Each structure stands twice: as C-alpha cells, then as structure tokens.
A and B are shown apart, each in its own frame.
Chain A
C-alpha cells in the first residue's frame, strides 16, 4: 500500500514537473521580444529611406550609400545595405531583431538592412 502511495505521488509529481517545464512562459517572452525588435528594425529601415529620400538611393554610389548608412546608425540600431548586390555594414554580434528591404530604383537593386542590438 505504501509503495503504491509513493508511486502514485511520485508519478504525479513527475507529470506536473514535466508539464510545468513544457508550458514554460520564458521562451514566449523571448519570441515576443524578437517580434517587437524585428518591428523596430523595419521601422528603422523605413525611417532611414524617408530621411535620405528615394532620389538619393536612386543616384548614390555605393560609397555614398555606405557613408550615409554608417552616419545614420547608432548604438541601438545598425544600418547596412548595398547597391546591385554589393553590400556594406555588418550585423552586430549580439542583435535581437533584424529587417531588410530590397527594391529596384533606376534599374539597380537597392537593399537596406537594420539590426537592433540586444540590451
């Protein structure tokens, strides 16, 4: 009887601990943070394009674009991109969100990327 009692109690405890581990809310917090950071990165991309104007992106050389991207980056958002497949700017080692947009201007493919740094 005692063995049965201990067995049922232990089995129930294992089941509960397993369920608690499976239904852990911590991975969800991480996913939410990533989604929010991705959205912040896409806003940064749109904000940069709006700030420099499409005519700049359509006529700038790669070096001009790279200088502009670097000047617009800050501690929390790093910008990168390129023209015609040649890119500049690198993702920071520890970033939590990213976004990139590619489009064609005057026959050249332009790419703008943004990475949001981790806290």
Chain B
C-alpha cells in the first residue's frame, strides 16, 4: 500500500511537471511571438505616420510659397533673384499616439526637374510640372515608439508645384515692357501729353491676365528727355494648396530720348 502511494505521487509529479514545462514552453513561444508582433506593429505605425509627416511638410512648404507669392510682387526683369530668395524651413515635433517624432523641413524653388518623387499626399500639387512654380522639399524625420525602440528615421526629398504659369506671366510682362519701351522711345513731346499718346499706342498683348496697368513719366533733360515706365499685372484666383491666392508681377524700365520734337508745356 505504501509503495503504491509513493508510485502514485511520483506519477503525479511527472505528469504535473510535464504539464508545467509544456505550458512554460508555450508561454515563452507566445511571449516571443507577442514581442515580434508588437515590434512589427510599432514599425507599421511609425512608417504610416512618417509618410503623413512628409506629406504635411510638403503641404506647409506649398503654403509658405503661396503666402510669399501673395505678399511679394515678382519683378519680371529679374525673376531669378526673386525665385532664389523664395526659401523656407520649419520644424515640428511632438507625440502622436505612442509615436514621438521630430520633423525638420527645408524648401526652395526648383529650377530644373530634380531627381525626387512627388508627394503622395498632395495629388495635383505633387511632383514637378514644367512651366509651373516648382519646389524641392527636403524633410528629415526621426521617430521613436514611447521614446524607445523601435526608432525610425529617414530623409525624404520630394517635389511639389503651385499651378502658377510662371514662364508665360514673366514673358507677357517682358513683352509689355518692350512694347512700352518702343512706344516711348519716340516721344513727340516730353510731357504728360506725349506720354499719354505713347501709352495709348502701346500694343497690349497681355489682355488675358486678370488685371494690368501701365504707366510712364517723362522728365525733360538738357540733352533730351528721360522716361521711366512700368507695368503691373495681377493674376487672381490662382488655385493654391490651401485656397486661392494672387500673384502680382511688376516690371520697370527707363530710357532717354535725345531730341524730343515738341516743346514741353508741362511734365507728367
């Protein structure tokens, strides 16, 4: 009887030990699997949010360019200087869900088609568009999960554009200046009357722009007549990423005529 009891105890030891070890092995396996799934899920979340951050940086860059164009007139006689000064940068950081992030963005006017992808989050404003106002946007993103691993960092260079007919607008402005110069180079009188006659005769080839104005002033000089002239065009209703905006293009020039044929009763 005593031996049987000891045997039964030993058998129960073996059975429970086996059960315990099997369960521990299963637990360890599931625990390892959970770690992998949680890590993978964190990486998916960081990657998804990283893409949104890149899209947001492109959006904000286009907004910055739009605001710059809206508030600064473009000089069509030196557009390159204007466009090269159109640069910006922004920094953003915070925590979204369990993802801690920091994003640093710089943007500038893109002269030629850069080797970069268009933003997937901007649709019609994404990518390089010949003839439009194109931007090259560089974004550095650093992310971590709950301030810990997995960490994810990457650098993105993308292109986006505003549908501003830059080349044609500048060309029309220069044409208008050329027309004015031609009309004003042979003033009959070096006064407002002579300037008015010349302006009326100037061929305005930029009537497809929303609004434009031209002007000139003549100042008699001992050796002839000095003429300053200018043109201003404004395109309104340009579709920007955050709504419509306007672009003002200005140009000015001056010339001197040696012998005005009439006497100036008054100057303009």
Contacts and interface: CB of A to CB of B under 8 A. Distances in A.
Interface in A35-65: 35-36, 38-40, 42-43, 45-46, 49-50, 53-55, 58-59
A103 B56 contact: yes
A86 interface: no
A28 interface: yes
A43 B49 CA distance: 9
B188 interface: no
Interface stretch (B35-43, B71-79, B189-197): B35-43
A14 to B, nearest CB: 10
Contacts of B123: 53, 55
Q: Which of A6, A23, A100 has the most CB of B within 10 A?
A: A23
Interface size band for A: 35 or more
A1 interface: yes
A108 to B, nearest CB: 10
B13 interface: yes
A100 B56 CA distance: 16
B9 A8 contact: yes
A105 B49 contact: no
B27 interface: yes
Interface in B4-62: 5-6, 8-9, 12-13, 16-17, 19-20, 23-24, 26-27, 29-31, 33-34, 37-38, 40-42, 44-45, 48-49, 51-52, 55-56, 58-59
Nearest to B60: A105
Contacts of A119: none
A16 interface: yes
Binding site of B, secondary structure by majority: helix, strand, loop or mixed? helix
Contact of A42 (B9, B13, B97): B97
A49 B121 contact: yes
A67 interface: no
A28 to B, nearest CB: 4
A94 interface: no
A50 to B, nearest CB: 5
A5 to B, nearest CB: 5
B2 interface: yes
B121 A38 contact: no
A53 B9 contact: no
B59 A54 contact: yes
Contacts of B2: 1-2
A54 B51 CA distance: 12
A25 to B, nearest CB: 4
B202 interface: no
A32 B19 contact: no
A46 B49 contact: yes
Contacts of B38: 31-32, 35
Given A28-B27, A54-B56, A99 B9 contact: no
B55 A106 contact: no
B9 A13 contact: no
Contact of A39 (B30, B33, B45): B45
B97 A16 contact: no
B243 interface: yes
27 contacts: A2-B2, A5-B9, A6-B9, A8-B9, A12-B12, A12-B13, A16-B20, A17-B16, A19-B20, A19-B24, A20-B19, A25-B26, A25-B29, A31-B38, A32-B37, A35-B38, A42-B44, A49-B55, A54-B58, A55-B59, A55-B122, A55-B125, A58-B59, A58-B242, A59-B242, A59-B243, A99-B45
Q: State the 10 A-B residue pairs at the shortest beta-carbon distance, nearest first.
A: A39-B41, A46-B48, A25-B30, A39-B44, A16-B16, A53-B123, A35-B41, A23-B27, A32-B37, A28-B30
